[in-house]
């Protein structure tokens, strides 16, 4: 295979759509710490974005390599498994080199996120197929992913950790819903996720509980002015709609199409929350 063809085959494993979607959390961390925007800070932000994209691309390619090693995915005939592993490792090294230009705090947080991805995906550790343990990297990783951006312009403090907790809870709840959606596929591949081990309904209800905690967290962050107070009102207004859509998905027996629609709906709610956070910060 020619070098350009091999490169294109490797890049197929990056999942660019999901990589870019997952930049939302660290970018929110940047927004909460950047203060007054200057030309120098904007250049730093662009540099950070490059490193963050490389880091998340590493996480996804490592996960694909692990899925092949587990037997969850068929091997890519155009990309030997060892090539995929070393490609993923090179993305990690590149991201840490970029982060090194931004300071030691960012390097350390990036390394922690990479370690959590290794714990989740690597076949010998197999947290991905271990009920309950599979949610831990998402909870801790969601927190550190926010702090990764927050640490670019500010030392980690109580405010950063508390706001990061909201994103961590959201990330964990979303992962539980993802497992419910992929129940049939994971069952076929003998992957022991929370939904497989405990059932779709209990896993979905666990996700709803964690989502509820996220809304409660947002309410208190606004009420006690870690965030602008109107965000407390927004949490109170949006939660009943989220709850209604959740109950409707339960009545629909949680088939994949209904869970897909539910994911689109709650992501729209979180887009409203994210835009509201941005607007409130810039207004201040």
Angle subtended at Cα 56 by Cα 206 and Cα 48, rounded to the nearest 5 degrees: 120
CB 223 within 8 A of CB 229: yes
pLDDT of residue 10: 78
Question: What's the rounded Cα separation, in Å, for the pair 236 and 218?
Answer: 9
Angle subtended at Cα 169 by Cα 30 and Cα 143, rounded to the nearest 5 degrees: 40
pLDDT of residue 4: 55
pLDDT of residue 9: 73
pLDDT of residue 5: 61
pLDDT along the chain (284 residues), means of 10: 63 82 93 90 96 95 83 71 88 97 96 93 80 91 96 95 97 94 83 90 96 98 94 96 96 90 94 92 72
Domain boundaries, the chain: 1-155, 157-284
pLDDT of residue 129: 79
Nearest CA to 96 out of 133, 54, 38 is that of 54
Tokens of 118: 């290794």
Q: What is the pTM of this model?
A: 0.91
pLDDT of residue 136: 92
C-alpha distances out from residue 76 to 58, 64, 120, 129, 280, Å: 17, 10, 21, 22, 46
Three-state SS for the chain is CCHHHHHHHHHCCCCHHHHHHCCHHHHHHHHHHCCCCCHHHHHHHHHHHHHHHHHHHHHHHHHHHHHHHHCCCCCCCCCCHHHHHHHHHHHHHHHHHHHHCCCHHHHHHHHHHHHHHHHHHCCCCCHHHCCCHHHHHHHHHHHHHHHHHHCCCCCCCHHHHHHHHHHHHHHHHHHHHHHHHCHHHHHHCCCCCHHHHHCHHHHHHHHHHHHHHHHHHHHHHHHCCCCCCHHHHHHHHHHHHHHHHHHHHHHCCCCHHHHHHHHHHHHHHHHHHHHHHHHHHHHC
pLDDT of residue 52: 97
Q: Top-level CATH class of 1-155?
A: mainly alpha
pLDDT of residue 148: 97
């Amino acid at each position: 295979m020619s070098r350009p063809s091999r490169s294109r085959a490797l890049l197929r494993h990056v999942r660019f759509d999901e990589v870019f979607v997952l930049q939302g959390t660290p970018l929110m961390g940047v927004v909460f710490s950047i203060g007054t925007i200057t030309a120098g800070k904007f250049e730093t932000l662009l540099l950070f974005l490059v490193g963050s994209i490389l880091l998340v691309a590493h996480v996804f390619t490592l996960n694909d390599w692990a899925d092949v090693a587990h037997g969850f995915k068929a091997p890519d005939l155009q990309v030997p498994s060892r090539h995929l592993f070393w490609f993923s490792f090179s993305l990690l090294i590149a991201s840490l080199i970029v982060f090194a230009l931004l300071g030691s705090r960012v390097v350390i947080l990036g390394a922690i996120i990479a370690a959590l991805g290794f714990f989740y995906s690597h076949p010998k550790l197999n947290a991905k197929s271990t009920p309950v343990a599979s949610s831990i990297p998402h909870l801790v990783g969601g927190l550190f992913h926010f702090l990764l951006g927050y640490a670019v312009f500010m030392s980690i403090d109580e405010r950063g950790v508390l706001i990061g907790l909201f994103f961590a809870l959201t990330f964990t709840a979303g992962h539980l819903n993802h497992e419910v959606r992929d129940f049939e596929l994971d069952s076929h591949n003998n992957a022991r996720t929370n939904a497989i081990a405990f059932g779709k309904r209990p896993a979905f209800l666990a996700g709803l509980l964690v989502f509820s905690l996220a809304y409660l967290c947002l309410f208190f962050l606004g009420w006690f002015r870690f965030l602008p107070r109107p965000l407390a009102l927004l949490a109170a207004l949006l939660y009943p709609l989220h709850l209604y859509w959740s109950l409707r998905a339960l009545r629909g027996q949680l088939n994949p199409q209904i869970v897909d629609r539910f994911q689109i709906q709650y992501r729209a709610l979180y887009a409203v929350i994210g835009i509201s956070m941005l607007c409130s910060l810039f207004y201040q």
